[in-house]
Amino acid sequence: MISIRNLTKIYDKGRTIALNKVDLDVEDGEFVSIMGTSGSGKSTLLNMIGGLDVPNEGTVDVMGENLSKMNLSRYRRETVGFVFQLHNLVPNLTCVENVELPLFGSARSSEMKSRAMDLLKAVGLDQYSNKHPNKLSGGQMQRVAIARALVNNPKIILADEPTGQLDSENSDLIMDLLQEKQKETNAALIVVTHDFEIAKRAERIIKIRDGQIEES
């Protein structure tokens, strides 16, 4: 599914090597967690897989195709679901409008609304569909962000510290939702976390240090 070779990312004209010759493979239906101290390169790696950033050297192949040759905005829209630590919801859109966002340009508006409502229901927030995010708790906002990330049935689900701001009850709920959807669609799920309880839900824990994979 995902095949990464020699991936290198350099910032500040060579002063920071955020990723240093990383090799990694992730299969369909596999759940991998990534751990490492702050600044070790976790977000850089996830952003590169998600087509949010491009490497200086090395390659990311997805389903046999090299990301550098793909239309990245289309790849992000159709193949990837991204959940961030801070939900990144659009404040002046309602919850259901936030969830509909990834469907613009690909689905009819009636279909968009009903798919977005299905996802809000799946995360237990259909009754909040017409509320704005500032009316929700942190855990609820993150559930809306998960609905938005999953509305396209992505083949790759990427989550960068998705539970970083949440208590353990909400963290478990968020992880249950991600894993349930992942099983349903046989997606690859990659979760960056500082929390070992979260990390060990995965089949594989990858430790990253100074831009390199330590062990897996």
Q: Which does 171 bind (CB under 5 to 8 A by kind): Mg ion, ligand ADP, none?
A: none
* Selected binder of ligand ADP within 23, 27, 28, 39 (CB under 6 A): 39
Nearer to ligand ADP, 103 or 192 (CB): 192
44 binds ligand ADP (CB under 6 A): yes
**How far apart are CB 174 and ligand ADP at their closest, in Å?**
19
Residue type, 174: I
| Secondary structure class of 172 (helix, strand, coil) | helix
56 binds ligand ADP (CB under 6 A): no
Where b means 16+ CB within 10 Å and e means fewer, 12-36 reads eeeeebbbbebebebeeebbbbbbb
* Selected binder of Mg ion within 20, 43, 129, 171 (CB under 5 A): 43
| Secondary structure class of 216 (helix, strand, coil) | coil
- The answer to whether the CB of 194 falls within 8 A of the CB of 39 is no
Task: Pick out residues in 19-38 that bind ligand ADP (CB under 6 A).
Answer: 36, 38
Q: How far apart are CA 40 and CA 22, in angstroms?
A: 12
Label the pairing between strands 57-62 and 65-66: antiparallel
Among 8-16, 69-77, 79-87, 142-150, which window interacts with ligand ADP (CB under 6 A)?
A: 8-16
**How far apart are CB 159 and ligand ADP at their closest, in Å?**
13
- Enumerate binding residues for ligand ADP (CB under 6 A): 11-12, 16, 18, 36, 38-44
